Structure 1
Amino acid sequence: MSKKRVLVVGGTGYLGQHLLKRLSEIQSTNPHDVSFTYHSNPPPQPLLKAIPQALAFHVDLRTGHGFDAISQAFGQPHVVVNCAALSVPRTCEMDPTAAMSINVPSALVKWLSSFTENNTLLIHLSTDQELEVMGNGLTEFEVKSFYKEDDETVPVNVYGRSKVEGEQFISANCSNFAILRSSIIFGPQTVSPVPKSLPIQWMDSVLSKGDKMEFFHDEFRCPVYVKDVVTVILTLTDKWISEGKQMQLLLNIGGPDRVSRAQMAEVDRGVKSPADISMDISKLIQSTRNFSHSFQRWCQIDARS
């Protein structure tokens, strides 16, 4: 049987690099044909060296330029993981047009719909930045905690609005998808360091310099470890490849703890941010129990690495 094809859109970013590295590490036990896209800069040599079997393609998500080259050289992927986004809230505020054109993956979805057979799973990374809403019985100065997937979304910034529209576009135009609404992702630096500030690394830098900083104690998140996000992605990938049952999932992907920005040592980025977007991840836990064999297998593989 031929190997299944996995395409990582935005493979040079933080999550994309961690996912590609994991796919490379498991080639001996669970081989896949792997490719990834990049846009701003050519793939760095350390990353290419770490994933020598992967094909790299230059793609512009705003226009769709580059997808035809993937069709010709790689073929229709069985799984597409969309890690690409304009994800810095301040940048999105400055250029909302770019935020909408990139974070609403219309060109990607159009390309997938061009294939004759509808046998591609789209795993799309979304955000918790769209979750601040008023709870029943709360005043205008209060917000709720531990959001569920079916809570109303009322984003407070351009980044959140663009990701909401992305979710809605996928739900309306795809028949086989899993949208992962991620909290702040933290973990080790990538093979090729990314320019975006990372929570743990930034905190270590500030503390090591002895700089005086102010941290919010009334903004709450459920930070999630990057390798846990990778495990969820690989579990969904394995489920689709092994069972072939289409899915339409929206899952909160957060860690087990609700912590404040002060506890995270996270600083204000100069743009309005939701006060409390802690997540209820019971649906994620239940979903992984429903295909626990695959999930446990990936956890065991990751523990051995």
Structure 2
Amino acid sequence: MEGERGRVLVVGGSGYLGQHLLAALAVHGSVDVDVAFTHHRGTAPRPLLDALPGARAFRADLRSGDGLQAVAASFGQPHVIVNCAAISVPRACEADPAAAMATNVPSSLVDWSLSFGNDRTLLIHLSTDQVYEGVKSFYKEEDETLPVNMYGKSKVAAEKFITEKCSNYAILRSSIIYGPQTISPVEKSLPIQWMNSVLSQGQQVDFFNDEYRCPVYVKDMVDVILSLTKSWLSDGKKIQVLLNVGGPDRVSRLQMAESVAEVRGYSKSIIKSVPASSVNRGVASPPDISMDITRLTQTLGIQPITFLDGVRATLDAEAST
């Protein structure tokens, strides 16, 4: 974007990944850009606004597109749009499929970005490992998508919509994102913090031994987004990429809890191994959606940290706040 200062819009900026991304964008020397973000609720979180005075906040409804014209009017056409907004709780998607499709397929956002009439915008869209069926280990990007729940189905529909409509896009199939709490604490339970909390009480806790994921440390997720952003802003060469974004380790919930216990020095005897079928969660959950991240490391040169190191970094960050 020669001769023009880059503009980055983070959609869903008050969520977990959105806040971590905004904080990284605010660090001078990371990516020198003007930053705006959207939020769905009435007002943006005050701690976030106070911590990031340079970021501009806009209320927007992703389903209808209401509020996006206000972004265009005062911020301008973004060079990069990072879409972090979604209904990401599988049970909520199962309970209201229409809402899941309306929110998770970003039709109004894409139509708005196309309304500028040029291809100067890169859309970085957060998808999920739940697009895979979950019947084998280490899925590759070219493997068939056969989601077992509405959340995964809505994300597959979103991927299809984006690849058909957008000239420039990066679709990131993310695993469980974990890491330190955000500037303005999010309401949802964070996995490592929750495991640390329950294990610290010394009571026996059940953890699934037969569901596998490749959890990714939030700062690695942010680095992937920043790398794509820098590449686009520096040369503007066409980007059409689909990437698995997970950590290097295939772990069960049981193994995740054991890592927390190892870092904190808790007795592993209180960690009870149970099958996922022992609990009815009201929604189908894929057994093994671990992902092969070879394409990620080869394309961007980013090697996510191990799960144990991520747990250690997360708990160290929590201890220092």
TM-score between the two structures when normalised by the length of structure 2: 0.84
Q: 1:29 to 1:132 in 2, by over 3 A?
A: closer
> CA shift at 1:132, angstroms?
1.6
CA distance in structure 1 between the aligned counterparts of 2:250 and 2:234, rounded to whole angstroms: 34
Contact 1:8 1:37 in 2 (8 A): yes
Q: Which residue is equivalent to 1:34? A: 35
CA distance in structure 1 between the aligned counterparts of 2:18 and 2:246, rounded to whole angstroms: 18
> CA shift at 1:29, angstroms?
6.0
Matched, 1:157 2:158: no
Q: What code does the residue aligned with 1:57 have?
A: F
Share of identical aligned residues, percent?
64
Q: Which residue is equivalent to 1:190? A: 182
CA distance in structure 2 between the aligned counterparts of 1:179 and 1:116, rounded to whole angstroms: 22
The one of 210, 216, 221 equivalent to 1:218 is: 210
CA distance in structure 2 between the aligned counterparts of 1:54 and 1:207, rounded to whole angstroms: 38
Contact 1:59 1:67 in 2 (8 A): yes
What are the equivalent positions in structure 2 for 1:5-20 lying under 5 Å apart?
5-20=7-22
What SS class does the counterpart of residue 180 from structure 1 fall into?
Answer: strand
Q: Which residue is equivalent to 1:176? A: 168
Matched, 1:283 2:285: no
Matched, 1:202 2:194: yes
> CA shift at 1:30, angstroms?
3.7
Q: What code does the residue aligned with 1:35 have?
A: A
Q: What code does the residue aligned with 2:300 have?
A: T
Q: Which residue is equivalent to 1:140? A: none
Moved more, 228-237 or 206-215: 206-215
Contact 1:90 1:269 in 2 (8 A): no
Moved more, 264-273 or 147-156: 264-273
What SS class does the counterpart of residue 250 from structure 1 fall into?
Answer: strand
What SS class does the counterpart of residue 26 from structure 2 fall into?
Answer: helix
> CA shift at 1:204, angstroms?
1.4
What SS class does the counterpart of residue 17 from structure 1 fall into?
Answer: helix
- Deviation string, structure 1 residues 242-299 (Cα, Å, up to 9, x no partner): 111011100000001011121123986813211000000011111014x99xxxxxxx
Q: What code does the residue aligned with 1:179 have?
A: I
Contact 1:39 1:59 in 2 (8 A): yes
Q: What code does the residue aligned with 2:199 have?
A: L
Q: 1:29 to 1:153 in 2, by over 3 A?
A: closer
CA distance in structure 1 between the aligned counterparts of 2:111 and 2:122, rounded to whole angstroms: 14
Matched, 1:61 2:83: no
Aligned residues between the structures: 281
- Deviation string, structure 1 residues 164-219 (Cα, Å, up to 9, x no partner): 10111101111100000000000000001101111111111211233432211111
Moved more, 72-81 or 258-267: 258-267
> CA shift at 1:55, angstroms?
0.7
Q: What code does the residue aligned with 1:8 have?
A: V
Q: Which residue is equivalent to 1:138? A: none
- Output the aligned Cα RMSD: 1.7
Q: 1:252 to 1:52 in 2, by over 3 A?
A: same
Matched, 1:251 2:252: no
CA distance in structure 1 between the aligned counterparts of 2:148 and 2:197, rounded to whole angstroms: 29
What SS class does the counterpart of residue 276 from structure 1 fall into?
Answer: coil
